[in-house]
């Protein structure tokens, strides 16, 4: 029998594995751990503490923090009393935090530290209580403020009577959380997701994706405020009894991979792009022999992957996809190449899940080739989030997989992907107009253009609003081109522009981690990143990288010019969303004059040539 709510889901796991580690996190340079039983007891104390403060059913409680045990404790504690959590990205500036708190009618906020606390105090949202997880030594709380330890202590002295009876009454239709969209095209909307929305997605993912087992160890580095991490990296592992280890930060991910040695990993495409670029750079800087061996090994892996795609299901299940000679070569390639790359990721990963953005097919095939299965999926905050994913048996690179077994998907006449089913949101909080605009009956408009292939695997082309229409009448899907260019180890992110122009150009944000050492090796000794980007050899390098990575595209899809942006695009600067997606309108507005000048210069050059020819 299926659980009625997320708390009941966790309760079942706690009863199965009370002494098993549920979470691991770094503290004072050493990984600490907590068992499922202790985790559950702390949830009870926190729930009692929240109730003692007056929090009740349908009250909104914000969580403004990086991932840590108290994030999950707060999440389940709030859920157990029927309250609604409002996760907020800790990277957001104070004014955006204040907007979310007001938009969701937040009554209480649980914050990580003094930095996040100050964001609450800087605004004028009607937050009645602030709870700080890690207070400073000189922490001086105001009225209705306390530390997380004090919250738990108050709860242990004022336990909720009939707590289990209370949370068992919570049904699947009860709102669990309000998650705000990233706001790439305007003000963020608060997506209302119920217990049932999440549970239906957890159940579908377990059926379709990597079959998690209690012995698995998952590394979590995306913030829990990200809906993909919350469902795939938090609720799903907890439903099985998996141990979750938190990475310290995105900057320490490589060290944490080696320390934790996870068996499964969920990530947005950017991490896989960085790993791929780093491996390619190491090979490019290696000896000719090393390059030859590596390329041979990848070819063997790709041959195995092609057989995997074409083999009958029974052969896949039994592992009989390689003839004797290919198996012999594959074992040699595994020893010489695959194991060395795997060791950089901890050496034990049996499956990786990519979501939150489109993964370049060549990168996906590369990981499959070196025996690191990568399963790409697709979804939205509004769908809790997974709509499709590649199954472990026959994952097809270049697609986002097959539709979840409890969802329906159809392609509209204009190519837009529509979806309906139990994981689709209940609507936008306090925004009936936006809710009505995104629904057509019970079908939700995703805003993405996609197509289903002959095997019913979905391929996402681009955002509907991002399709560029050139003055020549040609349509350009920029995301595919951007992903191809981003394969370069010298390029962090790319933005294709050119709507209603004759041709497209690209704005390039360099990967300074690789570009600066390259510049030094090529005689550019000093200067700021902006100054280095103005050197001709750097411009030539980026132009060549863009050219080489877009060779397979049609001529009208190839950028006619690459413009280096010397300043880094960041969340704080407003160019990126908290999940590191580009805010296209913000970037285009910021560099509007630059873009206009580039097209004007090219137009003037054409007119000058025409004048000379006519003369």
**351-354 and 374-379 as β-strands: parallel, antiparallel, unpaired?**
parallel
Is 486 part of any domain?
yes
What is the structure's pLDDT at 320?
A: 72
Is 219 part of any domain?
no
Listed residues 464, 496, 528: the one ending a domain: 464
**SS3 of 496-523:** EECCCCCCCEEEEEECHHHHHHHHHHCC
554 and 447 housed in the same domain:
no
404 and 281 housed in the same domain:
yes
Is 478 part of any domain?
yes
458 and 505 housed in the same domain:
no
Segment (H or E) for 98: helix 94-103
What is the structure's pLDDT at 614?
A: 36
- Cβ–Cβ contacts within 10 Å for residue 402, how many? 21
- Exposure pattern of 38-74 as b/e (b: 16+ CB <10 Å)? bbbbbbbbbbbbbbebebeeebbbbbbbbbbbbbbbb
Is 106 part of any domain?
yes
Distance from C-alpha of 474 to C-alpha of 451, rounded to nearest angstrom: 19
What is the structure's pLDDT at 305?
A: 93
Distance from C-alpha of 127 to C-alpha of 145, rounded to nearest angstrom: 11
Q: What is the total count of domains within the chain?
A: 3
Give the DSSP per-residue string, 195-232: HHHHHHHHHHHHHHS----TT-EEEE-S-TTSHHHHII
**Which stretches in the chain have pLDDT values below 50?**
604-615
> CB-based burial of residue 512 (10 Å sphere; 0-12 exposed, 13-18 middle, 19+ buried)?
middle
Distance from C-alpha of 402 to C-alpha of 253, rounded to nearest angstrom: 30
Helices (H) and strands (E) in the chain, counts: 24, 27
CATH number at residue 439: 2.30.38.10
Domain hosting residue 526, numbered range: 467-614
Is 529 part of any domain?
yes
13: left (phi over 0), alpha (psi -120 to 50) or beta: alpha
> CB-based burial of residue 453 (10 Å sphere; 0-12 exposed, 13-18 middle, 19+ buried)?
exposed
Q: How far is CA 146 from CA 51, 66, 117, 354, in A?
A: 14, 19, 11, 38
Q: List alpha helices for 285-392, DSSP H.
A: 288-310, 313-318, 324-333, 339-344, 361-369
451 and 311 housed in the same domain:
yes
471 and 431 housed in the same domain:
no
What is the structure's pLDDT at 513?
A: 87
Note if the bond before 385 is cis, omega within 30 degrees.
yes
- Exposure pattern of 233-252 as b/e (b: 16+ CB <10 Å)? bbbbbbbbbbbbbbbbeeee
Is 420 part of any domain?
yes
412 and 511 housed in the same domain:
no
Is 391 part of any domain?
yes
Is 252 part of any domain?
no
326 and 447 housed in the same domain:
yes
58 and 83 housed in the same domain:
yes
274 and 165 housed in the same domain:
no
Q: What is the DSSP letter of 114?
A: H
Listed residues 410, 443, 464: the one ending a domain: 464
478 and 455 housed in the same domain:
no
Say what the pTM is: 0.84
**175-180 and 190-194 as β-strands: parallel, antiparallel, unpaired?**
antiparallel
361 and 489 housed in the same domain:
no
Contact at 8 Å (CB) between 334 and 346?
no
Report pLDDT digits (tens) over 446-467: 999 999 999 999 999 888 888 8
**φ and ψ at residue 7, rounded to 5 degrees:** -70, -40
Q: How far is CA 142 from CA 63, 101, 145, 168, in A?
A: 19, 19, 6, 36
Residues in Cβ contact with 454 at an 8 Å cutoff, skipping those fewer than 6 apart: none
Segment (H or E) for 359: none
428: left (phi over 0), alpha (psi -120 to 50) or beta: beta
Q: What is the DSSP letter of 401?
A: -
CATH number at residue 159: 3.40.50.980
- Exposure pattern of 6-35 as b/e (b: 16+ CB <10 Å)? bbbbbbebbeebeebbbbbbbeeeeeeebb
Helix, strand, or coil (residue 92): coil
Task: Compute the half-sphere exposure of residue 505: CA atoms within 13 Å on the CB side of its CA.
Answer: 19
Distance from C-alpha of 367 to C-alpha of 119, rounded to nearest angstrom: 41
Listed residues 171, 188, 205: the one ending a domain: 171
523 and 390 housed in the same domain:
no
Q: How far is CA 398 from CA 8, 366, 368, 377, in A?
A: 37, 12, 12, 11
Residues in Cβ contact with 592 at an 8 Å cutoff, skipping those fewer than 6 apart: none
CATH number at residue 569: 3.30.300.30
Report pLDDT digits (tens) over 52-105: 999 999 999 999 999 999 999 999 999 999 999 999 999 888 998 999 999 999
Structure tokens belonging to residue 192: 């209302």
What is the structure's pLDDT at 186?
A: 63
């Amino acid at each position: 029998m299926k659980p009625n709510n997320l708390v009941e889901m966790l309760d079942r796991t706690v009863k199965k594995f009370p002494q098993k580690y549920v979470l691991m996190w770094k503290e004072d340079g050493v990984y600490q751990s907590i068992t499922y039983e202790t985790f559950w007891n702390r949830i009870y104390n926190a729930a009692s503490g929240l109730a003692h403060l007056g929090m009740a059913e349908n009250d909104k409680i914000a969580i403004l923090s990086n991932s840590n045990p108290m994030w999950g404790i707060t999440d389940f504690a709030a859920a157990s009393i029927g309250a609604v959590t409002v996760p907020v990205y800790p990277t957001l500036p104070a004014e955006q935090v204040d907007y979310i708190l007001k938009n969701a009618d937040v009554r209480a906020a649980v914050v990580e530290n003094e930095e996040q606390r100050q964001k609450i105090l800087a605004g004028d949202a009607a937050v009645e209580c602030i709870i700080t997880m890690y207070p400073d030594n000189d922490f001086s709380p105001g009225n209705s403020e306390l530390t997380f330890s004090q919250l738990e202590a108050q709860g242990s002295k004022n336990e909720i009577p009939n707590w289990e009876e209370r949370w068992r009454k919570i049904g699947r239709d009860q709102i669990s959380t309000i998650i705000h969209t990233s706001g790439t095209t305007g003000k963020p909307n608060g997506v209302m997701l119920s217990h049932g929305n999440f549970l239906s997605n957890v159940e579908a993912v377990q059926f379709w994706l990597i079959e998690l087992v209690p012995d698995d160890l998952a590394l979590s580095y995306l913030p829990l405020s990200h809906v993909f991490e919350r469902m795939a990296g938090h609720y799903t592992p907890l439903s099985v009894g998996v141990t979750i280890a938190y990475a310290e930060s995105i900057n320490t991910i490589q060290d944490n991979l080696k320390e934790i040695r996870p068996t499964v990993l969920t990530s947005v495409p950017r991490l896989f792009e960085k790993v791929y670029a780093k491996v390619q750079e190491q090979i490019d800087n290696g000896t000719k022999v090393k390059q030859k061996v590596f390329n041979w090994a990848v070819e063997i892996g790709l041959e195995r992957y092609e057989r995997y795609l074409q083999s009958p299901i029974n052969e896949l299940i039994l592992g009989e996809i390689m003839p004797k000679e290919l198996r012999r070569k594959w074992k040699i390639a595994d020893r010489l190449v695959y194991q060395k790359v795997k060791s950089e990721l901890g050496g034990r990963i049996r499956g990786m899940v990519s979501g939150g953005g489109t993964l370049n097919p060549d990168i996906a095939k590369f990981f499959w080739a070196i025996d690191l299965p990568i399963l790409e999926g697709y979804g939205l905050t509004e769908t809790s989030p997974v709509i499709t994913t590649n199954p472990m048996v026959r994952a097809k690179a270049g697609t986002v997989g097959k539709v979840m077994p409890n969802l329906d998907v159809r392609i509209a006449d204009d190519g837009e992907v529509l979806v309906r089913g139990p994981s689709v949101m209940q609507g936008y909080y306090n925004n009936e107009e936006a809710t009505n605009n995104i629904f057509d009956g019970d079908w939700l408009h995703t805003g993405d253009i996609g197509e289903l292939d002959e095997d019913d695997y979905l391929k996402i082309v681009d955002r509907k609003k991002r399709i560029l229409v050139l003055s020549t009448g040609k349509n350009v899907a920029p995301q595919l081109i951007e992903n191809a260019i981003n394969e370069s180890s010298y390029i962090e992110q790319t933005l294709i522009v050119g709507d209603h122009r004759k041709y497209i150009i690209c704005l390039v944000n360099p990967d300074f981690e690789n570009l600066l050492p390259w510049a030094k090796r090529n005689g550019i000794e000093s200067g700021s990143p902006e100054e280095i980007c103005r050197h001709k050899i750097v411009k030539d390098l980026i132009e060549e990288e863009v050219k080489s990575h877009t060779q397979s595209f049609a001529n009208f899809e190839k950028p006619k010019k690459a413009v280096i942006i010397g300043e880094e695009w960041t969340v704080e600067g407003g160019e990126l969303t908290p999940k590191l997606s580009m805010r296209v309108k913000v970037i285009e507005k910021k560099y509007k004059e630059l873009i206009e000048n580039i097209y004007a210069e090219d137009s003037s050059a054409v007119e000058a040539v025409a004048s000379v020819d006519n003369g």
